[in-house]
């Protein structure tokens, strides 16, 4: 019997649970009812069946992603896995090819995921679009080189009283950023406000500016016995932090620094352009390390480029190399930007830039510049075209996504 690709029915989600429990080694729970089956709808799935048996899984969660000041529909790829006895048969490639066509039809111009293995997804045109920066700092070392501790007033709230306020700040914070997700309540509850994986009760520190309006927040936990220290054995774990002004950012760090029994502050999902390294008196005491972030692929080149926000005007012609998984992307595209929006049309003749769909993802998100890609042999173009591309694709913030899915 040939392998059939289709969505799983609701009465087949127990098989999805069993498969993902095994493939991920219980990381999402064991058995048919794990966190994947609890958060996945049948219509989001595209699975391979050998007769009645589910042997390879894939789901596409509908998200909206910020793209430099605009909202772009995104397919959040999750629950990808194949039983070992069915591997090396090209099933994931078959499913991904069909899934990209489905995403395009649904208007999801980009896809993203958290990669189990980079080697798998680079073959499918994904690029690592962001990093997660981690800090480990002692409260005794939270100090600013210029003595400015911030001017916002910080108050502590519980989740029920602070949720609407932090959501208000988050919406403003991500407005002109790249790769942040629009957060419906379930996304908040599965990440920043997830009590299931929290190391203690969740607290909210809300910063208010001189006008009394919220201008920043830190969502965190506080727990004793986390550090081997005679008098400061507590640890603060920052789960999410957003700010609308440098003053709010400084004030939130100052608030955390006033926890005198805390000997360790941990933040594992800071953005690559987080300003702490420039503000702190001794930035090396942050013990900053960058880790792999989320991966992005351009599913529909003209729609992705037209839907993105732009900070400069100009025109550029881009040639995308062969894209076997999404062949509609292959070709030349003329991008004309004016007033922050772009018109994209199929182009003819020579192109200013020639690159792969993976390199385009890096350029699209602002993760890499055209000149960087050219220096690494990932892009072809003349210097004048590289300068024009860098002006067009520049973003005011580094791409970042703190939310897992």
Q: Identify any residues that bridge with 343 across adjacent strands, giving them in sequence order.
A: 336
The Cα–Cα gap between 68 and 346 comes to 23
* Residue found under tokens 């989600």: 13
* Residue found under tokens 């520190």: 205
> Do 4-108 and 132-291 share a fold?
yes
**Given this structure, which CATH class describes domain 300-393?**
alpha beta
CATH code 3.30.70.1520 for 4-108: no
Give yes or no for a contact between 179 and 69, defined as CB atoms under 8 angstroms apart: no
Joined together, the tokens standing for residue 281 give: 């008196």
Mean pLDDT of the chain: 96
pTM: 0.95
264, 288, 278: which is closest to 140 by C-alpha? 264
Q: Identify any residues that bridge with 296 across adjacent strands, giving them in sequence order.
A: 112, 127
**What integer pLDDT is reported at residue 177 of this predicted model?**
98
User: Phi/psi at 59 (nearest 5 deg)?
Assistant: -135, 150
CATH code 3.40.630.30 for 132-291: yes
**What integer pLDDT is reported at residue 241 of this predicted model?**
98
CA quadruple 106, 114, 91, 83: dihedral positive or negative? negative
- For the chain, residues with pLDDT lower than 70 are none
- Residue spans of the domains in the chain: they are 4-108, 132-291, 300-393
* Residue found under tokens 């933040």: 267
The conformation of residue 227, written as its DSSP 8-state character, comes to S
Rg over CA atoms, the chain: 23
């Amino acid at each position: 019997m040939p392998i059939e690709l289709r969505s799983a029915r609701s009465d087949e989600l127990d098989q999805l649970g069993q498969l993902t429990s095994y493939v991920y080694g219980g990381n999402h729970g064991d058995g048919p009812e794990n966190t994947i089956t609890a958060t996945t709808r049948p219509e989001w799935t595209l699975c391979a069946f050998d007769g009645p048996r589910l042997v390879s899984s894939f789901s596409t969660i509908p998200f909206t992603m910020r793209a430099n000041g605009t909202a772009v529909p995104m397919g959040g790829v999750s629950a990808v896995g194949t039983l070992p006895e069915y591997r090396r048969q090209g099933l994931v490639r078959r499913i991904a090819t069909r899934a990209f066509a489905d995403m395009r039809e649904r208007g999801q111009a980009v896809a993203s995921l958290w990669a189990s293995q980079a080697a798998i997804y680079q073959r499918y045109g994904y690029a690592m679009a962001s990093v997660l920066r981690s800090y480990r700092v002692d409260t005794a070392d939270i100090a600013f080189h210029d003595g400015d501790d911030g001017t916002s007033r910080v108050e502590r709230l519980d989740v029920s009283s602070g949720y609407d306020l932090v959501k208000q700040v988050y919406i403003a914070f991500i407005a002109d950023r790249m790769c942040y997700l629009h957060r419906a309540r379930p996304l908040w509850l599965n990440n920043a406000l997830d009590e299931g994986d929290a190391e203690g009760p969740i607290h909210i520190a809300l910063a208010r500016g001189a006008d009394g309006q919220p201008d920043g927040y830190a969502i965190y936990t506080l727990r004793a016995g986390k550090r081997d220290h005679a008098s400061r054995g507590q640890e603060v774990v920052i789960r999410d932090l957003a700010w609308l002004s440098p003053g709010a950012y400084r004030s939130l760090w100052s608030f955390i620094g006033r926890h005198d029994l805390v000997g360790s502050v941990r933040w594992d999902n800071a953005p690559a352009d987080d300003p702490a390294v420039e503000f702190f008196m001794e930035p090396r005491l942050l013990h900053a390390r960058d880790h792999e972030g989320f991966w992005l692929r351009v599913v529909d080149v003209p729609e992705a480029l037209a839907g993105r926000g732009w900070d400069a005007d100009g025109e550029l012609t881009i040639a995308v190399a062969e894209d076997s998984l999404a062949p509609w992307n292959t070709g030349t595209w003329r991008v004309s930007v004016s007033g922050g929006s772009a018109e994209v049309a199929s182009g003819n003749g020579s192109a200013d830039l020639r690159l792969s769909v993976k390199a385009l993802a890096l350029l699209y998100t602002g993760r890499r510049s055209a000149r960087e890609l050219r220096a690494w042999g990932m892009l072809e173009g003349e210097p004048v075209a590289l300068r024009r591309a860098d002006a067009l694709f520049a973003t005011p913030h580094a791409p970042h996504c703190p939310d897992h899915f």
